[in-house]
Structure 1
Amino acid sequence: MRDHVGTVDGRRLRVEVSGHPDGHPVFLLHGTPGSRVGPRPRPMFLYQRGTRLISYDRPGYGGSDRRAGRRVVDVVQDVAVVADALGVDRFAVVGRSGGAPHALACAALLPDRVTRAAALVGLAPRDAEGLDWFAGMAPSNVDEFRTAFTDPERFEERLIPRSDAIRSDPARLLEELRRDLTADDRSIVSDTAMRSMLLRNFREALRTSPYGWIDDALALTGPWGFDPADIRVPVLLWHGEQDVFSPASHASWLAARIPQAKKVVEPTAAHFAALRALPKVIGWLIEGALV
């Protein structure tokens, strides 16, 4: 299988496939910042459960060329191109954190191809009517998203040197987040195997440029280009009640908006607990098992 897939506008997307080669296709859309190597179930787990997991670097991350000015909805073209290159007609899609809105975009605009979708610890649109978007969000995230929304040039100037420092020392990002982590999240990111996957993910995400991260933030706080209310396929919204990076109120807003949404909120979980929930979520995507 080719490592890269070409797009109509001449960009290259770096792709990775793991699990059962003939299994049920599931796209895993990574977080922010993130990459195709991001935390995921082990290949043997996926193989045993008949799952073919497809991941790729969003534009500007890892080995994928940048698409300046991209919106959340633009993910749909890239996912379709990757699916076509792999000979995949129908598939499920799951996104975590910054990848969650992108998964919802695929569900909304590829109804004939997406079988089910899951959004883990995701965000609602910045202009969500009736939602206090920043309520319950950690001050660091409020500052980051507000700056991206109100002063994108300043946001870019701040994030470039920060990305350079994290690329040299990926553990730096986890240290930055530590003060906002719950005890449960600290235990998850302190696990040796999980920490290794996260550090590898951050390093690869920022290996070639900071613009995947920059463009993600601008896309998430700008107009998404689609309405979640248009989604007609079954959707699972998984969230931790204690999440301060993307508050659970965002999942509640989406659940009220999406016709076939099933909301699962874990009362003691926070943001990184989505990594622990991912195997069960994949089970729901391919088998319809209750989570």
Structure 2
Amino acid sequence: MILPPPLPAPILDPIVRLALAEDLGRAGDLTTDATILPGTRITAEIRARKPGILAGMDAAAHSLKLIDESVTLDQALQDGGRLEPGTLIGTMSGDARSILMAERTMLNFIGRLSGIATLTAAFSAKVQHTDATIVCTRKTTPGHRALEKRAVRCGGGTSHRYGLDDAILIKDNHIAACGSVSEALKRAHDYAGHLRMIEVEIDTLDQLEEALPHKPHAVLLDNMDNATLRKAVAMIDGACKAEASGGVTLDTVAGIAETGVDYISVGALTHSASNLDVGLDLP
């Protein structure tokens, strides 16, 4: 697995600034101002409290940098690394006031994004005996899509569309408004340039039969049982990519993968992942 690089600063910066501003409010950190003398220096460690997969260190590091560039952060583990309770993630040294101001925002990013990476890794492990790939969807926290989709990659998955502007995905409501699968695909091909992928959501085998002559790049086989998925994969016969979606769980994903689909999209990766418990302590 090739791990993703940190997100570029122009993407990270507005997200992190908003998170810090939300926490610091109008007056800053009153508790730290009241209790910590200026010039106090500390060393603090970030450690995992639960097992999982690490993600979000780029956002955490940028949070600290915006508070105080002089504080050092030595990462003991990179994103994508495996965590056990007590695993050292990173050590910070420097101004105590700065570290305490940045602490919660840093941990929020690491906990949320590591939770996504951990859930993705669990889904990916269930399908590793097949050729299927786990992908996330647009069901992300508003404003955090780039972070959350990167976390999915840290967990061994990949991404469906990043947004409405990077591929054409004809869904059931588009089909209903156009009048038919055929008409929707004709319009899409007329509109798309040579670099635009076209995928169409299919609910029945009859719709699939109608779609295939129009040569979509992929079909989204929505809420089909495994027997129907096998029939759909046989009908497609390599003509395009087959993606399964709809209520996929850890209990059902292996059986779906065994039908021969190429991709399985799982909205739960980003909308239902549990936060991974991480903490900051002074050794």
Please, what TM-score do these two structures have when normalized by structure 1? 0.24
Larger radius of gyration: 2
Please, what TM-score do these two structures have when normalized by structure 2? 0.25
